[in-house]
Structure 1
Amino acid sequence: MGESAMRREWLTGKLIPLALWSIPLASEILALAGKSAQMAREGLRQDLSMEFARHTLTLAFFLLVLAAYLSRMRVVAPAAGFKEKILPMMVFLAGPLGIFVLQRLGWPARFAAPRTAVALSVAGLALSLWALWHLRSSFSILAEARRVVSTGPYRLIRHPLYLGEAGTMLGLCLLLGTYTALAFWAAVNLFQLVRARIEEEKLAREFPDYRAYRQRTRFILPGLY
């Protein structure tokens, strides 16, 4: 690989995603610090506790993905073309940036389900942690092939990380309490399913044992789909 190609790969694969990721990450750190100070002054009111939980879960999720992204192993087959490079990056950034924008808009809530929302977010985050622990250095944002992971939750379904992300994001959208947030969640996860199928095509081409793995596991819901 030439020097210019390496610079271009570093720019598109490292610098730009990290720069964009730092925006909601920094915002959540500041928001969490502000809520902590407010709770210290005003005590543990329910509304403040829910806001604190929301910012804590969002920050934990962002840090989790960042740690996995920075510790990846060398790629076997790099991404190529729009559907393997641009589309996955757009879907990856859409979720956190969209939540960031919706939170800042501050639209009035149409419904309230704080306990359900927090439970979904915690469950989704726990599943994401479990999946990332087994994925670790094989984590990819683009449709890249590193190795086949079939341990932990990957013994049951092929995309536990996406299922965990969906649960966490649904909880955050429920905390916002708007139908716009729920519609946004549905749209992002529809494209997430497309992204998952693209990744499977890539892995099946590069690793013959992935085909057998795909036959004995479910796509994203244990025992169902």
Structure 2
Amino acid sequence: MVMAMLMGRLEAYRRTKLYDLLAAAPIIVFFAYSVAQMLPSLAQRLALLMMFVRTDPSVLPPSLVFRSVAELATLLFFALSIVLYAVRCVPQRSAAGFYPRFAAVVGTFSSLGFVLLPARELSSALYQVSLLLLIAGTALAIWALLVLGRSISLLPQARRLVTTGPYALVRHPLYLGEMVAVAGIALQHFSAWALLLLALGWALQLQRMKYEERVLSQSFPEYEDYMARTAA
């Protein structure tokens, strides 16, 4: 009886905003740390960019512009994520078991493995392609975040059903944006290991989508109709 009461209270506590905020704390700290790490180098890059603009814009390197835009977009993505994870809704349902959580976490953060790989010397054109992939993917992810709002989640969970904006075009625009951005990063470290890491991240993201769709279908009966009319 006592054990049943304790389990009931624990389950009730898990449905509170305080518990959800504590669960989100590690990723909030990670994004905050990433923002702090990015700011000094970004400030230097923007100062260099402004120097070119004030002196002779005609010799402004395109790669400097694209790199600055990519870092600004990434910074905005991190800052927006911090806010949304802090104010998000309490989940109605979560995927059960270890593997759905493993796929979500490792699929999301596998891109950190690229920092362990050496950067490759790319031609100017290829380097700009990698930056454009990073910019395009991050821009799509930011758009998805803005529409997703308080329904954001790292793990496969159902908070609120969102089917507008980019979600009217594809079912997982946030993950698609992340995958495109990571492809841009992988290109800068192009090697067999980079391709393997990219493939691993993409495969786990696809698994993450599958478990998330299962949870959403269980929570929102209208999700089946949404899946039928919207591409994955």
Compute the TM-score of the two structures, normalised by the length of structure 1: 0.77
- Measure, in 1, the Cα distance between the counterparts of 2:145 and 2:123: 33
Superposition pairs of residues 75-224 of structure 1, within 5 angstroms: 75-95=91-111, 97-99=112-114, 101-102=115-116, 106-109=118-121, 112=124, 113-174=126-187, 176-179=188-191, 180-219=193-232
Name the counterpart of 1:18: 28
Secondary structure of 1:208's counterpart equals coil
Structure 2 unaligned segments of length 5 or more: list them.
Answer: 1-8
Retained in 1: the 8 A contact 2:70–2:135?
Answer: no
Does the aligned pair in 2 maintain the 1:170–1:182 contact within 8 Å? no
Query: Which amino acid in structure 2 is aligned with residue 63 of structure 1?
Result: A
Q: Distance in 1 between matches of 2:10 and 2:132?
A: 49
Q: Where does 1:40-79 land on structure 2 (aligned, <5 Å)? A: 44-45=60-61, 48-49=64-65, 51-79=67-95
- Secondary structure of the 2:222 match is helix
Distance 1:84 1:194 in 2: 8
- C-alpha distance in 2 between matches for 1:45 and 1:123: 19
Unaligned runs of 5+ in 1: 220-225
Farther off after superposition, 126-135 or 156-165: 126-135
- Per the TM alignment, residue 140 of structure 1 is displaced from its structure 2 partner at its CA by 1.2
Deviation at 1:58, TM superposition (A): 2.8
Of residues 28-37 and 194-203 in structure 1, the stretch that sits farther from structure 2 once superposed is 28-37
| 1:174-211 CA distance string (max 9 Å, x none) | 3x252244442232111101100110111112221111
One-letter code of the match for 1:92?
T
Change beyond 3 A, Cα 1:185–1:19: same
- Please give the root-mean-square deviation of Cα atoms over the aligned residues, in Å: 3.1
Give, as a single letter, the amino acid of the residue that structure 1 aligns with 2:137: G
**What is the Cα deviation at residue 28 of structure 1?**
1.7
| Amino acid paired to 1:25 | V
Kept after mapping to 2: 8 A contact 1:130/1:153: yes
Aligned to 1:34: 44
- Give the TM-score, by structure 2 length: 0.75
After the TM superposition, which of the residue ranges 38-47 and 77-86 deviates more from structure 2?
A: 38-47
Please tell me whether Structure 1 or Structure 2 has the larger radius of gyration of its CA atoms.
2
What is the Cα deviation at residue 169 of structure 1?
Answer: 2.1
Q: Cα offset for 1:9?
A: 4.1
C-alpha separation in 1, matches of 2:160 and 2:20: 21
Q: Using the aligned pairs only, state the percent identity.
A: 33
Is contact 1:21–1:93 with CA below 8 Å preserved after alignment? Answer: no
Match of 1:222 in 2: none
When residues 3 and 73 of structure 1 are mapped into structure 2, their CA distance, relative to the original with a 3 A threshold, is closer
User: 1: CA distance between counterparts of 2:118 and 2:46?
Assistant: 19
The alignment partner of 2:91 has SS state of: coil
